[in-house]
């Protein structure tokens, strides 16, 4: 028999007629209209009232790459600017595992107890790759995340460091306009992002651990040089003597660094984020720093320098985008690259040809 399964003794194998499956997408969903985009005026009004939901929506627009969203976002930022600037901006860095989340939770609660309002932002250009597991996960800051006076926002999703950093800087403006008078900007202390954070904060705090060498912690000398304060975490239990030793070593190392532009001598402290020990001392250092730089005028100076830096950064970013996103330029780059790699053309001539083409195309006169 050709198809033994059709024999009556195998009746169990008979195939029943199918049952229609429901559609995978809920048909009623279509009836739900998308919320219309709020107007800049509505957003600004909500932000100035300190409404965190409106603030969150505005930040989403700042982070969006949709040009319509960007138009609204830029108008909101502009209207919020006159209400911004009155906060302490504190950058916090340290390698993964140094205790940033734990520390931000306790430092943040300390700030709130003193009557402040706190926004915690992050810069992590790799966040798409790590799916936000390093930074920005609200559950990492258990106490803070349920406080009405705190606003925790994960890093804008991955992109160029400059792009991610610019969005965070714009978010600072919105948070300040919403009345947050303390801003923490967190970053992982392993790469370039510290420079970006440094360029938008007033005080830069480096969290270190005792018992591992500098190299092991992946902290580059440049990052230590940027720090206004170095704090050694996990100074608890058996770890206390090691933390104290590390404190002495860091103090010695700092002596070898050139004097800071602020005139402030960076300090080194020990604390335990987990057990809440030494938090007052760390915060006292930060209070003294702010008093010091307000008195000697460095506070204003640093903010002005940062404003200038970001103006040039924005110009550079937009020029780069305009150039590299031009389809003809992209095609040319591919062709020229191959010729340069084959030694058929010098890098300089290749660059000049492509730029000349780009300038001509945009009716700029190329500078010779
Ligand atoms: P992050 O990756 O820098 O954000 O570090 P976490 O805050 O997630 O901390 C990493 C680990 O160190 C966690 O298991 C914490 O419980 C632990 N930890 C953080 N602070 C302290 C501390 O002060 N003392 C001790 N003993 N452990 C800590």
Assign 258 a pLDDT band (cuts: 50, 70, 90): confident
State yes or no: pLDDT of 134 exceeds 50.
no
Q: What is the mean pLDDT of residues 18-35?
A: 69
Nearest protein CA to atom 11 of ligand 1, as residue: 97
Q: What is the mean pLDDT of residues 141-169?
A: 86
Q: Tell me, what's the pLDDT at 214?
A: 52
Helix, strand and coil in the chain, % to nearest 5: 55, 10, 35
State yes or no: pLDDT of 129 exceeds 50.
no
Q: Tell me, what's the pLDDT at 117?
A: 96
**For 218-297, where are the alpha helices, taking DSSP H only?**
221-226, 240-255, 279-296
The mean predicted confidence, pLDDT, of the chain is: 86
Cα–Cα distance between 44 and 177 in angstroms, integer? 9
Rounded to the nearest angstrom, the distance between the alpha carbon of 96 and the centre of ligand 1 is 9
Place of tokens 């606003």: 151
Which atom of ligand 1 is least distant from the CA of 237? 26
Q: What is the mean pLDDT of residues 356-362?
A: 94
Rounded to the nearest angstrom, the distance between the alpha carbon of 12 and the centre of ligand 1 is 61
Instruction: Report whether residue 137 contacts ligand 1, using a CB cutoff of 6 Å.
Output: no
Q: What is the mean pLDDT of residues 295-317?
A: 92
Instruction: Report whether residue 230 contacts ligand 1, using a CB cutoff of 6 Å.
Output: no
For β-strands 229-233 and 203-209, DSSP reports them as parallel
Q: What is the pLDDT of residues 182-234, one digit of tens each?
A: 999 998 766 677 788 888 999 999 999 886 555 445 566 778 888 999 999 99
Q: Tell me, what's the pLDDT at 215?
A: 44
For β-strands 203-209 and 150-152, DSSP reports them as unpaired
Instruction: Report whether residue 100 contacts ligand 1, using a CB cutoff of 6 Å.
Output: yes
**Widest CA span in the chain:** 100
Q: Tell me, what's the pLDDT at 225?
A: 85
Q: What is the mean pLDDT of residues 298-322?
A: 91
Nearest protein CA to atom 16 of ligand 1, as residue: 274
Q: What is the mean pLDDT of residues 112-133?
A: 76
Cα–Cα distance between 116 and 200 in angstroms, integer? 20
Q: What is the mean pLDDT of residues 57-62?
A: 94
Return the SS3 of 36. Answer: coil
Assign 133 a pLDDT band (cuts: 50, 70, 90): very low
Pocket mutation for ligand 1, best pick of 94, 95, 97 (most atoms within 8 Å of C-beta):
97
Q: What spatial distance separates the first Cα and last Cα of the chain, rounded to whole Å?
A: 88
Q: Tell me, what's the pLDDT at 132?
A: 46
Share of the chain above pLDDT 90, in %: 57
Which atom of ligand 1 is least distant from the CA of 140? 8
Q: 272 near 235, Cβ under 8 Å?
A: yes
Rounded to the nearest angstrom, the distance between the alpha carbon of 101 and the centre of ligand 1 is 7
Q: What is the pLDDT of residues 331-341, one digit of tens each?
A: 999 999 999 99
């Amino acid at each position: 028999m050709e198809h033994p399964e059709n024999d009556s003794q195998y009746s169990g194998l008979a195939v029943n007629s199918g049952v229609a499956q429901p559609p995978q997408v809920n048909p009623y969903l279509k009836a739900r209209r998308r919320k219309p985009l709020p107007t800049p005026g509505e957003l600004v009004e909500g932000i100035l009232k300190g409404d965190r939901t409106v603030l969150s929506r505005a930040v989403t627009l700042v982070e969006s790459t949709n040009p319509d969203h960007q138009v609204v976002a830029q108008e909101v930022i502009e209207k919020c600017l006159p209400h911004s600037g009155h906060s302490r901006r504190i950058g916090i860095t340290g390698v993964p595992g140094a205790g940033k989340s734990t520390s931000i939770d306790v430092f943040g609660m300390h700030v709130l107890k003193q009557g402040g309002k706190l926004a915690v932002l992050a810069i992590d250009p790799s966040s798409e790759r790590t799916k936000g597991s390093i930074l920005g996960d609200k559950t990492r800051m258990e106490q803070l995340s349920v406080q009405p006076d705190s606003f925790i926002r994960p890093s804008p999703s991955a992109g160029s460091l400059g792009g991610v950093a610019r969005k965070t800087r714009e978010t600072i403006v919105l948070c300040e306009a919403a009345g947050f008078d303390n801003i923490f900007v967190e970053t992982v202390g392993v790469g370039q992002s510290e420079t970006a954070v440094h360029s938008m904060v007033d005080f830069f705090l480096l969290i270190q651990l005792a018992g591992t060498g500098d190299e092991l912690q992946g902290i580059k000398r440049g990052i230590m040089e940027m720090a206004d304060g170095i704090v050694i975490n996990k100074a608890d239990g058996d770890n206390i003597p090691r933390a104290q030793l590390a404190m002495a070593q860091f103090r010695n190392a700092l002596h070898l660094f050139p004097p800071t532009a602020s005139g402030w001598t960076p300090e080194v402290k020990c604390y335990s984020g987990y057990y809440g020990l030494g938090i007052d001392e760390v915060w006292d250092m930060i209070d003294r720093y702010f008093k010091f730089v307000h008195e000697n005028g460095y506070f204003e100076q640093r903010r002005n320098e940062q404003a200038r830096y970001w103006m040039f950064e924005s110009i550079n970013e937009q020029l780069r985008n305009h150039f590299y996103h031009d389809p003809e330029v992209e095609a040319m780059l591919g062709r020229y690259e191959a010729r340069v790699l084959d030694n058929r053309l010098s890098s300089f001539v290749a660059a000049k040809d492509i730029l000349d083409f780009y300038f001509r195309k945009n009716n700029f006169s190329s500078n010779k």
